[in-house]
Every structure is written in structure tokens, then in C-alpha cells.
Amino acid sequence: MSRTPATEAGANDPSPLAIALAGAVALAVAMGIGRFAFTPLLPMMLADGTIDLHQASWLASANYLGYLAGALLCTVQPWIWKRIGRRKPIDGPAMVRTGLAATVLLTLAMAAPLPAAWPTLRFAAGVASALVFVYSSGWCLSQLARLGVGPLGGAIYTGPGIGIVLTGLMVSGMVALHWPAANGWLTFGALGLLLSAGVWRIFRSTPAAAAPGTPGVGGTLEPTGAAHGRTEIGGLALAYGLAGFGYIVTATFLPVIARSALPGSAWLDLFWPIFGIGVTTGALLSTRLHLSGDLRRFLALAYAVQALGIATSLWSPTLAGFAVGSLLLGLPFTAITYFAMQEVRRIRPAHPASLMGLLTAVYGLGQIVGPPMTAQLLRTAGSQSAGFNLALEIAASALLLGAAMFTLLAKAFPKA
């Protein structure tokens, strides 16, 4: 007999919609603010003279290094608890609340005129965002599967896009008012506090969990004992990591790249919100897709779309080119994460958090490589424009390689 929301939900349990919205808001705070608020604020920080492009690259990498550290922590936490003799599993909702609180405090702290402390703050914010991502994804997807509404899980991944749109549009107003970047950090910290308070009570422990074999997005999950070897898992992780490398150059430097290509344009601050609109739209569309096929093929297509987005801005460095390129890059952004996390749940249905952490760690490693590579290319290229173009060409090539890898994995390890 199939499960339904009526038979699974307790009287005091949050509704499926509340769970999905809570997940979206958590990711809006952790990702849209904790990770990506730096991107629209970067031109303001450059204008203030507090950092230059080389320092900005390493400041971005500090955040991505923290994201990697947080993801690795999620990956090894079962081993840590076993070593210290703790048998009770980690409380996912408590980890989400901790990460949200840390994100708010660390964002507010960036307003302090202490540049020497900024790398540490951005590193810590990266750790917090990884914890929120892994544990909110795992908890929300499991709860929605338990309630029989697994496809609603795609709505969770609208959160980063919503956060990107909000911060991008708010920065446009800040630039018009000639605010310093410090005011932007304070404003985003206050926004994060408001959003976190709205979903705080949703993230609470529940005794029930999604059982192995629970039907969800992408078909029936395999039993816990299904064999998936290291080659398959390693290929999945490596291909997912290429997405982190492929998008990060644009995600870190888009406003700066646009200013270099279109100096004086009145639309420069809107390309980042357009990227966010694409992220949100793609996440919503992913909930409407019939995902009964192999998700690795969907992932290959998503990578190709992102590569096309980067290529569009290279082929046509115009207002239209940047707008279309930003939209195409954003459309598959969180859909890639959603498909990959569902693939993890197919492979490891009973205990997905550790493998989710591994994929997130490899993704984070890809992000770390991007900004320093760009900084080096900017230093050695003949011009800033040439340096950015070469970095974007390498990023697009990495995405195409990832698409090819997912296609090969689907052929080599067909879905049962």
C-alpha cells in the first residue's frame, strides 16, 4: 500500500509546503547571502578601495575553501561520532539552525573595517553554508519523501536564486545611493536574520524518516544493499565537481566582467539578478519534469546549457549577450544540484548525508580552483578582458567535459 501525506504526517508535523519553503529560505540565506552576496558587493568594495581584483580572488577562494571544509565535515561526521562513541545520529535540523545563525553573524561581521579578518570570516561563512546545504537538503528531501510528495523537493532549490535576486536588486539601489560596501553587508545580515527567524521553528527533529525504497523523484529508490562501486561513485563526484569549477568564474566576477565589456552601461547591476531569476526558474521547472529516466542524462543536458550560457557572453559581449548568457547559466544551476542529490538518494537511500557531503566537497574543490586561476590569467594576459575571456573558455570546456562524463556513466552503469 502506498504512503500518502495523510497516513504519514503527524498532527503537529509541518505541512509539505512549509517544509519546502523552509528549505528554500534556508538556502536563500546560506547560499544567496552567505556565499553569493559577495558577488554584487564586489564592485562596491573595489570602488571603496578596500580590496583589488587579486585580493578579491583570494577572498572568494577563502569562502569556497570553507565550503569545502564544511562539506568534508559532513562527509566524515559518521566516522567522527563512531570514534567518540556516540551512537545517536546527528540532529540535522539543529545543524541547519546552527548554520543559519552563523551565516547571519558572519555576514554582519564583514561590515567591520578589519580587512585582515575578512578571509577568516568568509572561510567560516563557507563552512556554515555547506552545513546548511547538506543538512537542509537531506532533511527536507527525506521529509517530503516520507510524506509522499518527493517531487516538491525541487522547490527547495529555488532558495539560492531568490537570495541572488534579492541581493542583486538591493545592491542596485545601494549603488544609486552611493552606499559604501559596509552598509551592504549590514543590510544583508539583517535580511538573513529576518528570513531565518521566519523558518526557525520548521527545522525540528522528527522521529520518522524516509525508509529505504520510498518512491521519490526519479523512480523507486534502490534497496540499501544495492551495489554501487567506487568507480561509479567516483565518476559521479568528479563530474559534479566540474560543475563547481565551470560556473564559478562567472558567479564570482560577473558584475566586474560586465563593467569591463560595457563600461558606463545603466544595466550593469541587473545581470546578476537575471542570473538569479534563471536559478529560480530552473528550480521550479525541475519540479515539473517527468524524471522517470536516468538523471545522469538530465545532468549532461544541464551542463551543456550552462556551457552555452558562458559561450553566449563570449560570442556576444553585448547587453543582449550578457542577459541571455546570465539566464542560461542560471537556469540549470540548482537543477544540477537537485538532480545530483536525487542521484545520491538513489545510490545511498538509507544514509545519503555522507555521500551528499562528498559530492559537495568535490564541488567546493572545483570552486576553489576557479578564482585563483582567473587571478593568474588576469596577471599574465595582455588585458583584463583577455584574461576573463580565457578563464570563461576554460570554464565552458570543463562543463562540456562534465556533460560527456555523465553520458558515459549512464552507459557504463545503466539504471536498474
pLDDT in tens, 358-413: 888 888 888 888 888 988 898 888 788 889 999 999 999 999 999 999 999 999 88
Instruction: Tell me the fold of 15-207+223-412.
Output: Growth Hormone; Chain: A; (1.20.1250)
Q: Return the higher-pLDDT residue of 186 and 384.
A: 186
* Percent helix / strand / coil, the chain, rounded to 5: 75, 0, 25
Comparing C-alpha atoms, which of 399, 365, 394 is closest to residue 381?
394
Q: Does residue 270 carry a pLDDT above 90?
A: no
**Residue 33 and residue 197: Cα distance in Å, rounded?**
15
Angle at 48 between CA 47 and CA 54, to 5 degrees: 70
Q: Are 171 and 45 in contact (CB under 8 A)?
A: no
When the pLDDT of each residue in the chain is averaged and rounded to a whole number, the result is 84
Mean pLDDT of 324-333: 92
pLDDT band at 162 (very low <50, low <70, confident <90, very high): very high
Mean pLDDT of 172-187: 92
Mean pLDDT of 234-248: 91
What is the model's pLDDT at position 223? 39
Q: Does residue 308 carry a pLDDT above 60?
A: yes
- The listed range with the strongest mean pLDDT (23-27, 351-355, 377-381) is 23-27
Which segments of 272-394 are extended strands (E)? none
What is the model's pLDDT at position 110? 96
Q: Does residue 217 carry a pLDDT above 50?
A: no
Q: Does residue 208 carry a pLDDT above 50?
A: no
Q: What separation, in Å, do the N-terminal and C-terminal C-alpha atoms of the chain show?
A: 22
What is the model's pLDDT at position 30? 95
Q: Does residue 204 carry a pLDDT above 70?
A: yes
Angle at 74 between CA 96 and CA 155, to 5 degrees: 50
If residue 357 lies in a helix (H) or strand (E), which one and from where to where? helix 352-380
**Residue 33 and residue 48: Cα distance in Å, rounded?**
20
pLDDT digit string, tens, across residues 72-87? 887 777 677 677 766 6
